Every structure is written in structure tokens, then in C-alpha cells.
């Protein structure tokens, strides 16, 4: 049985925190999404406008949570400074009846390669399987996104296959996606 939280919790492990998005995240989200790698491998629009970040924090994330479709966290670190923005991670495309969800994430350029993403994926995965009650968490990764594929593998997700022509990019290009999953034992 799925237990949907009444509010997005704060999850902590070491110096990494997963927390609900806040007004103060609008500018860091906007800044991070100027990096061309993020829209290249995600559904983040390009060009990414300040209004996109405002809508994301103020409207989209709260509505998706209330509709029981997404649990979105901001990833932050307090290793070098207090509550430094590192990225975003979420469960989305959730099917409560089937006890399944999809994990999605992106990291700000400055936070990559430090183990923060691995910690965040492990934290949200444990939360999803142990607390929320998902039985299957899927991750779809552009086959060209070597770093994200390696991250999910390090976190115990199994590559189940390559889905041909799974996603159409804004420019009309069809791309293949690697399907990873982690299931409740």
C-alpha cells in the first residue's frame, strides 16, 4: 500500500539534504538551467527563462504534489556553505495503483562529480521503497548520458533494456532511452 505524505519531508544524510523547493531556489534553478547539459538530457526547456523557474517552484511542483503525481525535492549541501543549491530530484509519472514511479534528477554543474548525486539517489530511493511503499522505481536515461547511466548503476538500479525511439526532443529528433529499475525485495 502506498503512503503518500501530507507534506514533502526533509531527508538528510551527512551534509546532503533533500527538502521541498522554496522561493529562494528560483534564482539558483534559473542559473543552473542555463547549462546546456541540463536541457540536453532532461525535459527542461531551452532557452530556460526566469519565468520557468518561478512557475516551477510556485505552481508546478506544489500542484503535482497535491495531485499525487510527483514528490519533488531540492538537493542541497551544507559542506561548504549553509544550504548550497545542488540540483533537483523527484519521483514523477507515479502510478499509485501499480506501486510504481519514475525517478528524475539533474545536478547543477558545480555539484557534479562530488558524490552528491549518488547520495541523493540513494536517499530518495530508500524513502520511496521503505516509506512511501513503491515496489518499483524506474529511471529513463538518454543512452548518450553516460554519467547518469553510471550513477543509477552505482545506486543499485538494474539496466533492463534500451527503448528505441522512446522520446522525441523539441527539435523533432527521436532518441533511445536506457530503462533502469530498482525493485522492492
Domain containing 33: what range? 11-137
Is the dihedral angle over the CA atoms 90, 180, 77, 29 positive or is it negative? negative
Q: CB of 69 within 8 A of CB of 94? A: yes
Q: Is residue 170 part of a domain?
A: no
Q: Is residue 101 part of a domain?
A: yes
Q: Is residue 55 part of a domain?
A: yes
Q: Is residue 149 part of a domain?
A: no
Q: For residue 77, what is the domain's CATH number?
A: 3.40.630.30
Q: Is residue 69 part of a domain?
A: yes
- Residue 185 pLDDT level (bands cut at 50, 70, 90): confident
> Could you report the per-residue pLDDT of 105-135, keeping only the tens digit for each?
999 999 999 999 999 999 999 999 999 999 9
Report the first-to-last Cα separation within the chain, whole angstroms: 15
Q: Is residue 155 part of a domain?
A: no
Alpha carbons 180 and 119: distance in angstroms, whole number? 17
Instruction: Report how many domains make up the chain.
Output: 1
> Could you report the per-residue pLDDT of 5-38, keeping only the tens digit for each?
999 999 999 999 999 999 999 999 999 999 999 9
Amino acid at each position: 500500500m502506498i503512503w503518500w505524505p501530507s507534506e514533502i519531508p526533509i531527508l538528510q544524510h551527512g551534509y546532503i539534504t533533500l527538502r521541498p523547493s522554496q522561493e529562494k531556489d528560483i534564482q539558483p534553478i534559473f542559473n543552473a538551467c542555463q547549462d546546456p547539459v541540463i536541457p540536453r538530457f532532461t525535459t527542461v526547456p531551452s532557452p530556460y527563462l526566469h519565468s520557468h523557474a518561478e512557475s516551477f517552484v510556485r505552481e508546478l511542483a506544489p500542484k503535482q504534489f497535491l495531485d499525487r503525481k510527483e514528490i519533488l525535492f531540492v538537493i542541497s549541501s551544507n559542506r561548504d556553505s549553509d544550504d548550497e543549491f545542488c540540483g533537483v530530484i523527484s519521483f514523477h509519472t507515479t502510478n499509485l495503483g501499480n506501486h510504481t514511479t519514475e525517478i528524475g534528477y539533474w545536478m547543477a554543474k558545480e555539484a557534479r562529480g562530488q558524490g552528491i548525486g549518488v547520495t541523493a539517489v540513494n536517499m530518495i530511493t530508500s524513502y520511496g521503497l521503505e516509506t512511501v511503499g513503491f515496489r518499483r522505481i524506474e529511471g529513463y536515461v538518454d543512452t548518450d548520458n553516460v554519467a547518469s547511466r553510471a550513477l543509477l548503476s552505482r545506486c543499485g538500479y538494474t539496466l533492463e533494456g534500451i527503448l528505441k525511439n522512446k522520446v522525441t526532443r523539441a527539435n523533432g529528433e527521436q532518441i533511445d532511452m536506457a530503462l533502469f529499475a530498482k525493485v522492492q525485495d
